[in-house]
Amino acid sequence: MGSEVKVGDIMNRDVISIETNAPVTEVAKLMKKHEVGSIVVSKAKKAEGIITEKDIVYKVVTVGADASKVTAEKIMSKPLKVVTPETSVEEAAQAMKRYNLKRFPVVNDTNELVGMISEGDISRILPSLIDLIEEKAEAGFQ
């Protein structure tokens, strides 16, 4: 892509997170309430892991565990793959492909959760990135 658009320019700042000691039932309720497929798990505002619908099904439901007694920390995926607001959108897209992920939590220098970027966020700005690249290319030829 070769753009200078940063993750911080397009990330979703309204991110749903839950504390590590919360029961999985609360995680599922938050997912339903906010109509999301994943929730970042944090401890004292620091991003620690992520729970997806798949984690709940594979790590709780299929093993017959009591979701009200299993904590978020027990089933979260970690270490958490993250990007920063300064990461280029191109780098974030390449990392998504490399790790086969659909989204990345965005953290600041102290690992505090500040946003989320998804494949959908990137695909929504793709037409503008193409226009920007074409404009730069045309300017270079004049």
Report whether pLDDT(50) > 70: yes
Kindly give the residue spans of alpha helices, DSSP state H, lying in the chain: 7-10, 24-34, 53-56, 72-75, 89-99, 119-141
- 7-141, which class in CATH? alpha beta
Report whether pLDDT(57) > 70: yes
Secondary structure of the chain: what % helix, strand, coil (to 5)? Answer: 45, 25, 30
Identify the pLDDT of residue 5. Answer: 87
* Residue 128 banded pLDDT, cuts 50, 70, 90: low
